[in-house]
Amino acid sequence: MTSLSYIFKEAFNNLGRNALVVLGAILAVFISLTLTFGTLVFGEVVRVNTLQWAKDVRVIAFLQDDMTPEATAELQNEVASWPQVADVSYVSKPEAFEEAVIMFSSNEAMLRTLEESPDLLPASLRVQPVDPEDYERIVIRLESTPGVHQVESAGDAIDAMIALRDGLQIMFWLLAVALGVAAVALIANTIHMAIYARREEIEIMRLVGASNWFVRTPFLIEGAMEGLIGGALAVTFIVVAQQLAVDRLSDLPDWINLAIQNDFILRRGALVLLFGVVAGLVGSSLSLAVHRTLRS
Amino acid sequence: MIKLENVTKVYPGGTVAVKDATLDIAKGEFVFLVGASGSGKSTIIRMIMREELPTNGDLWIAGKHANELPSWKVPYLRRSIGTVFQDFKLLPTKTVYENVAFAMEVTAKHRSVIRNQVPQVLKLVGLSDMADRLPRQLSGGEQQRVAVARAFVNRPLILLADEPTGNLDPATSVGIMRILDRINRTGTTVVMATHDHAIVDAMQRRVVELDRGRISRDESRGIYETRQTPVIEDSVAGEIPATQPEAESADEVPEVTVDEAVGGGPEEVLTQDTGDEAKA
């Protein structure tokens, strides 16, 4: 179609004509989306790592000494059936004794006490929650369960970790949203300038009866292109940067893990590209909507 | 073709530009809108372009009830209306050919139609030799002829001209009027707002005079002013073809057969009539 080729020709001509302004918009999108995507990736690193740490979260239920093996097995099955519980393991008195011997291997006095009365330490159930945030409910439920003598958990540490994770994630999302809005505004501004640069042409187009979509589509395509290019640069940049970080920082303590599932990168990367295009379309629509030359 | 019924236009802010105007312009007419600055001529032109809507009253343009035309349909109405302005409105970076072709490109005309029509219209306005020039390489009269060519290239039913000779000297104006007359003879309705006494008096066409927004006179073969005796018009009109060198170039506008394909419009050969009228 003549008109379709004309519209694309116009959109690309425009990208070339206002090279500097367009470059500015692409860079702006690139920077905003790099930060947005970087934020998402960093958020994922935090999430993966806290998930890793959360695996070590345990609630320990010390059992009464007079429990029969049958009652103990029954209790273990019951706790395992709770929806908040991922896994339950039984630590018998002898196992508890062995653990303690290893733990206090450098403490002569403690070792001697242990040797004197190997029955001192109670048997226990080690309960791993599905979600570390649920530990408190598990604690409460265990406390009111017959056969349980006492319940222990690293409550404060878990709370602090959860607060840190949630806080970081909220911060990242706010940052991502703010930067996304900035990208839209910058594209809107670029298109605004492109419309201004072509106002005479647009006036004549409207005068001779060019349809609205014919006048507007080149600007929409231009905005979408700027968003797409900026987004592609941002995704490339973050993927390369993340790879470099994983390769170079291999001597980090092993409780920090920078590697992220490729799946996540692909899916979020596609999302960032899509967002770039949408930001471009929204930005150009905004400036088309406010521009006086285009009002009928 | 154009019908105003008790049309009033009040601009935001309260300025009454047109008051209770009733006007019926038939297909193929040539109408001058005259009157002082601010009398409402341009507002009527802008309403016929459907750039403004009447505040009150009804307006029909080319068979469409403009009051009820949704704004997305306005571009399609505009394709049957050509417009020429005092300031030409040419695109400085495009050549003469490209400026005229632009009106067809952006209304999605086929390339072969464009290649066929643009040279014809350039021939009609006498600019065949200047197709590759840029507007800044042309005189004012030539630029306005490009604008007329662009307005006519889509073969509109109506041609609106708002002070088309306002920036031109009298002799050059005659050249433009000759082209407008030729376009009118193809059956295109021409409505022209003007201050130019000499032209109105020479052309002897329908004159609609506006006085502070009201239609104060509507004569089928009128002159610019009835109340005061024109003093200088005769001498100016008489001088034009003889003394002004550009009048000769206007006379050189070649005799052109306007495309037969113009929706049944009469085939028109340029004659010396208009020149004689200017002398008369």
Given a cut of 50, is residue B151 above it in pLDDT? yes
Query: Do B40 and B101 form a contact (C-beta atoms < 8 A)?
Result: no
Angle A291-A293-B3 from CA coordinates, rounded to 5°: 130
pLDDT score of B200 more than 90: yes
Q: CA of A27, closest CA in chain B: separation in Å?
A: 29
A138 with A102, same domain: the answer is: yes
Q: Same structural domain for residues A164 and A256?
A: yes
Of A16, A149, A156, A133, the C-alpha closest to A84 is A133
The two tokens of residue A50 are: 């806290």
Which pLDDT band, with edges at 50, 70 and 90, does A287 fall under?
Answer: confident
The answer on pLDDT for B277 being more than 70 is no
Q: Which tens digit of pLDDT belongs to each residue from A49-61?
A: 776 666 666 788 7
Q: Kindly state whether residues A76 and A207 are assigned to the same domain.
A: no
Using alpha carbons, select from A86, A155, A159, A99 the residue that is nearest to residue A127. Answer: A86
- pLDDT category at B269 given cuts 50, 70, 90 is very low
* Average pLDDT rounded to a whole number, residues A248-267: 72
The tally of CA atoms less than 13 A away on the side-chain side of residue A288 is 19
Cβ-Cβ contacts under 8 Å, B150 against chain A: 208
CA A177 – CA B102 distance, rounded (Å): 42
Q: Is A142's pLDDT higher than 50?
A: yes
The number of folded domains in chain A is: 2
**Residue A181 in this model has a pLDDT that exceeds 50:** yes
Domain limits at A182? 2-53+160-294
Q: Does residue A79 share a domain with residue A137?
A: yes
Answer yes or no: is pLDDT of B271 > 60.
no
Alpha-carbon gap: B245 to the closest alpha carbon of chain A (Å): 32
Assess A3–B contact: CB distance below 8 Å, yes or no. yes
| Boundary (domain end) residue, out of A153, A184, A217 | A153
Chain A hits for B76, Cβ within 8 Å: 209, 211
Q: Does the CB of A2 have a partner CB in chain B at under 8 Å?
A: yes
Domain identity same for A145 and A204: no
Does the beta-carbon distance from A204 to B91 stay under 8 Å?
yes
pLDDT, greater one: A189 or B70: B70
Q: Is-contact B107 A208, C-beta < 8 A?
A: yes
Phi–psi pair at A8, nearest 5 degrees: -70, -40
Domain end position, chosen among A102, A131, A153: A153
Beta bridge partners of A125: A61, A90
CA–CA distance, A228 with A275 (Å, rounded to integer): 8
Do A210 and B75 make contact, defined as CB atoms within 8 angstroms?
yes
Cβ burial B174-203 (10 Å sphere, 16+ → b, else e): bbbbbbbbbbbbbbbbbbbbbebbbbbbbb
Residues A151-155, mean pLDDT to the nearest whole number: 74
Please say if the pLDDT value at position B242 is more than 80.
Answer: no
What band does B247 get if pLDDT is binned at 50, 70 and 90? very low
Maximum CA extent, chain A: 104
Which contiguous run of DSSP H or E holds residue B114?
Answer: helix B111-124
* Alpha-carbon distance A295 to nearest alpha carbon in chain B (angstroms): 10
Residue of B97 and A246 predicted with greater confidence: B97
Residue from the list A201, A209, A214 with its beta carbon closest to the beta carbon of B91: A201
Q: What letter represents residue B265's amino acid?
A: G
Q: What letter represents residue A258's amino acid?
A: L
Q: Any idea what DSSP says for residue B89?
A: -
Among residues A10, A1, A2, A5, which one has the least CA distance to residue A215? A10
d(CA B165, CA B85): 9
pLDDT, residue B250, reads 45
Same domain for A40 and A172, yes or no, is yes
Instruction: Name the one residue in this structure whose structure tokens are 């009269």.
Output: B141
pLDDT of residue B7: 96
Which residues of chain B neighbour A2 with C-beta distances below 8 Å? 105, 108-111
The reply to whether A196 touches chain B by the CB within 8 Å rule is no
* Chain B CA closest to residue A10: B106
Indicate whether A287 and A167 sit together in one domain: yes
* Residue at token pair 């604690």: A139
> What is the pLDDT confidence band of residue B226, given thresholds at 50, 70 and 90?
low
Contact A208 B150 (CB under 8 A): yes
DSSP B151: H
Quick one: average pLDDT of A88-107? 79
What is residue A148's predicted lDDT score, i.e. its pLDDT? Answer: 77
Pick B83's closest partner by Cβ from A3, A207, A210.
A207
Q: Are residues A86 and A140 in the same domain?
A: yes
pLDDT interval class at A255 (50, 70, 90): low
- Facing residue for A6 by CB, picked from B77, B105, B154: B105
Per mean pLDDT, which of A96-100, A171-175, B178-182 is the most reliable?
Answer: B178-182
Query: Which among B134, B151, B141, B143 has a CA at the least distance from the CA of B84?
Result: B151
Q: Which residues of B20-44 are buried (b: 16+ CB within 10 A; e: fewer)?
A: ebebebeebbbbbbbbeeebbbbbb
Candidates B72, B89, B154; nearest CB to A204: B89
Q: What is the pLDDT of residue B267?
A: 40
Same domain as A184, residue A205: yes
d(CA A233, CA A269): 11
- Is the CB of A209 less than 8 angstroms away from the CB of B110? no
Q: Contact A2/B111, CB-based, under 8 Å?
A: yes
Mean pLDDT of B61-82: 93
What are the backbone angles phi and psi of residue A146, rounded to the nearest 5°?
Answer: -60, 140
A35 and A69, same domain (yes or no): no
Element (H, E) at B19: strand B16-25
Query: Contact B113/B159 with Cβ under 8 angstroms?
Result: no
Write out the two tokens for A269.
């990367």
Min mean pLDDT across A67-81, A202-216, B74-88, B137-151 is at A67-81
| Helices A19-54 + A155-197 axis angle, to 10 | 170
> Could you give the CA distance from residue A111 to residue B19 in angstroms, rounded to a whole number?
110
Q: How far apart are CA B52 and CA B154, in angstroms?
A: 22
With H, G, I as helix, E, B as strand and everything else as coil, classify residue B143. helix
The pLDDT of residue A76 is above 60: yes
- Say what the pLDDT of residue A261 is: 72
Set of chain B residues whose Cβ sits within 8 Å of the Cβ of A210? 75, 106-107
Three-state secondary-structure class, residue B154: coil
Mark whether A93 and A216 lie in a shared domain. Answer: no
pLDDT at residue number A293: 58
CATH of the domain at A91: 3.30.70.3040
Confidence of residue A3 (pLDDT cuts 50, 70, 90): low
pLDDT value of position B140:
93
- Given a cut of 50, is residue B115 above it in pLDDT? yes
* Dihedral sign (CA B114, B118, B120, B121): positive
In this structure, are residues B17 and B213 in contact, taking their beta carbons and an 8 Å threshold?
Answer: yes
Tell the residue number behind the tokens 């130019």, with chain if given: B196
Domain boundary among A102, A132, A153: A153
Three-state SS letters, chain A: CHHHHHHHHHHHHHHHHCHHHHHHHHHHHHHHHHHHHHHHHHHHHHHHHHHHHHCCCCEEEEECCCCCHHHHHHHHHHHHCCCCEEEEEEECHHHHHHHHHHHCCCCHHHHHHHHHCCCCCCCEEEEEECCHHHHHHHHHHHHCCCCEEEEEECHHHHHHHHHHHHHHHHHHHHHHHHHHHHHHHHHHHHHHHHHHHCHHHHHHHHHHCCCHHHHHHHHHHHHHHHHHHHHHHHHHHHHHHHHHHHHHCCCCCCCCCCCCCHHHHHHHHHHHHHHHHHHHHHHHHHHHHHCHHHCC
Distance, in Å, from the CA atom of A75 to the CA atom of A148, rounded to the nearest integer, reads 9
A 198-217 → B contacts, CB under 8 A:
200-201, 203-212, 214-215
User: A136 and A180: one domain?
Assistant: no
Maximum Cα–Cα distance across chain B: 53
Q: Is the pLDDT of residue B248 over 70?
A: no
